[in-house]
């Protein structure tokens, strides 16, 4: 989650709803923000010649049976504009195929996947993002409350997420909401993102 300067947009009475398949592009746009360069890089590797990487992301968000799917997303609206998004779900234990495929993952993804494997059964916040004009109005906190409610409904005892160690603003935000560092991994520096040290796994009990 990015920190930003105060918004000039009047504070809105946000409303939330589960994302629809027709809103997959809005989901992909916010995943791109939350991922801080990683999603666009991965989508660009899958794009056909002349294809916008965001089109690849939209197609992936339209899937019915993947973790990265509109089905796991909640959108926040200010008036009629999409203002933010939560993408979160219960983490299943890795299958034998998942474990076998770990060594074949791009190096920049391996530490992220390894940390996910440490919190299977938790309600994993894959992405939380707010468009720049709507930041610093409490939407991020509201979306964390949505995650808490969904975690409870899913029967999860713990919430989890990942943040880059150098993203101090995001760390402060999550610490204020009770998240604490549970594990960490060195990351592989890459041109697609501005970090070079570690990724942190942060958790908190549901209902804490």
Distances (CA, A) of 160 to 1, 104, 122, 141: 14, 25, 6, 15
Number of CB atoms found within 10 A of residue 179's CB = 22
In this predicted model, what pLDDT tens digit does every residue of 139-172 receive, in sequence order?
999 999 999 999 999 999 999 999 999 999 999 9
Distances (CA, A) of 204 to 60, 122, 153, 175, 194: 29, 10, 16, 9, 27
Residue 101 has a pLDDT of 78
| Confidence class for position 103, pLDDT limits 50, 70, 90 | confident
Q: What tokens were used for 45?
A: 């590797």
Residue 6 has a pLDDT of 41
In this predicted model, what pLDDT tens digit does every residue of 17-73 receive, in sequence order?
999 999 999 999 999 999 999 999 999 999 999 999 999 999 999 999 999 999 999
Q: What is the CATH number of domain 15-205?
A: 3.40.630.30
Residue 11 has a pLDDT of 65
| Confidence class for position 95, pLDDT limits 50, 70, 90 | confident
State the average pLDDT for the chain: 92
> Of the candidates 109, 110, 199, 108, which has an alpha carbon nearest to the alpha carbon of residue 161?
199
Domain ranges of the chain: 15-205
> Of the candidates 112, 121, 57, which has an alpha carbon nearest to the alpha carbon of residue 92?
121
> Of the candidates 130, 145, 176, 113, which has an alpha carbon nearest to the alpha carbon of residue 30?
130
Residues 177, 141: Cα–Cα separation, whole Å: 8
> The pTM is what?
0.91
Residue 105 has a pLDDT of 86
């Amino acid at each position: 989650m990015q920190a930003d300067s105060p918004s000039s947009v009047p504070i809105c009475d946000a409303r939330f709803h589960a994302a629809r398949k027709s809103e997959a592009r809005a989901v992909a746009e916010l995943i791109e923000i939350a991922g801080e360069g990683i999603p666009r890089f991965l989508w660009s590797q899958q794009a056909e010649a002349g294809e916008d990487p965001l089109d690849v992301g939209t197609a992936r968000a339209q899937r019915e049976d993947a973790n990265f799917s509109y089905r796991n997303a909640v959108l926040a609206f200010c008036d009629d504009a999409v203002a933010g998004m939560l993408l979160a779900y219960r983490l299943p234990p890795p299958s034998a195929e998942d474990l076998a495929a770990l060594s074949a993952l791009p190096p920049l993804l391996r530490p992220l996947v390894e940390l996910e494997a440490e919190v299977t059964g938790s309600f994993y916040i894959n992405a939380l993002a707010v468009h720049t004009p709507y930041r610093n109005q409490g939407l991020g906190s509201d979306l964390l409350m949505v995650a808490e409610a969904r975690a409870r409904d899913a029967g999860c005892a713990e919430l989890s997420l990942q943040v880059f160690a150098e993203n101090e603003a995001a760390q402060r935000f999550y610490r204020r909401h009770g998240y604490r560092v549970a594990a960490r991994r060195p990351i592989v520096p890459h041109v697609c993102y501005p970090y070079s040290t570690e990724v942190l796994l942060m958790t908190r009990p549901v209902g804490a």
